[in-house]
């Protein structure tokens, strides 16, 4: 169900950002709102953070609503799309940042964690991708999210990387299935990015080591990733069916 519905009369491009209440999703919302998009800020559980970013966008003269759904629930996500279309008239861009990361070695992985990641990262991405294929307007874009861990092979990331490898395959196929629709479908696969989730529980020595892996000698920022998303959402009409790795040459 939508909250804080904005004026739907303005003719702007419209974006639905899943996981838009925090981390990379939040930076994407801020960047697309700055670029003039009306935004559907999707969240799963943290209503307060979603409302905070909606208020920030509207206070700066933009248009935004919040929509709540479990991305693996096709009926709930269809309602979220309905709410965005009701508020703004259509959906031009879907940015699917929502996902979870639970780390363990293969030998010790709890299969309940494996199932949770597959439900959110694989089924959830498929649900959002299917709805985007059905709803996104001509000239629009779908941008899914993977990870550079699909190339790095770091220990403890096997199940997470496997879930994101599925996202990459889905994206490449869907881009070709949408022939004739003028809709681009790409995946963004960030390297280590300084979000609260990434930094939580990590000692500074480990953070510094990860930052040193890039020749640029720093972690990425959510704003770095949002810059790539903004490019794929709008001007990059000839980039289609690709996995883009914004990771500072870490891989």
Cα R_g (the chain), whole angstroms: 17
Report, as residue numbers or ranges, the catalytic residues: 160
Report the C-alpha gap between 64 and 73 in whole angstroms. 23
- 127: tokens are 């649900």
DSSP for 78-120 reads HHHHHHHHHHHS---EEEE---------TTT--HHHHHHHIII
- 21: tokens are 């209440």
Residue 156 neighbours by CB distance under 10 Å? 15
Strand partners, 34: none
């Amino acid at each position: 169900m939508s909250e804080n519905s904005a004026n739907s009369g303005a003719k702007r491009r419209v974006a639905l950002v899943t996981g838009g209440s925090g981390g990379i999703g939040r930076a994407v919302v801020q960047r697309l709102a700055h670029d003039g998009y009306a935004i559907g800020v999707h969240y799963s559980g943290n209503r307060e953070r979603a409302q905070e970013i909606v208020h920030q966008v509207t206070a700066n003269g933009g248009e935004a609503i919040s929509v709540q759904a479990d991305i693996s629930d096709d009926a709930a996500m269809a309602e979220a799309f309905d709410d965005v279309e009701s508020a703004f008239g259509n959906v031009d861009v879907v940015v699917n940042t929502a996902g979870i990361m639970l780390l363990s070695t293969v030998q010790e992985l709890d299969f309940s964690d494996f199932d949770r990641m597959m439900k959110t990262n694989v089924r959830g991405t498929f649900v959002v991708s299917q709805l985007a294929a059905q709803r996104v307007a001509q000239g629009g874009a779908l941008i899914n999210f993977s990870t550079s861990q699909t190339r790095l092979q770091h220990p403890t990331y096997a199940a997470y990387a496997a879930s994101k490898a599925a996202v990459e395959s889905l994206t490449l196929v869907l881009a070709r299935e949408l022939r004739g629709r003028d809709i681009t479908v790409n995946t963004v696969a960030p390297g280590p990015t300084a979000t609260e989730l990434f930094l939580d529980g990590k000692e500074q020595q480990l953070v510094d080591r990860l930052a040193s892996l890039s020749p640029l000698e720093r972690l990425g920022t959510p704003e770095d990733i949002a810059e790539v998303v903004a490019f794929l959402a709008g001007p990059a009409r000839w980039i289609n069916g690709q996995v883009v790795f914004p990771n500072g040459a870490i891989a």
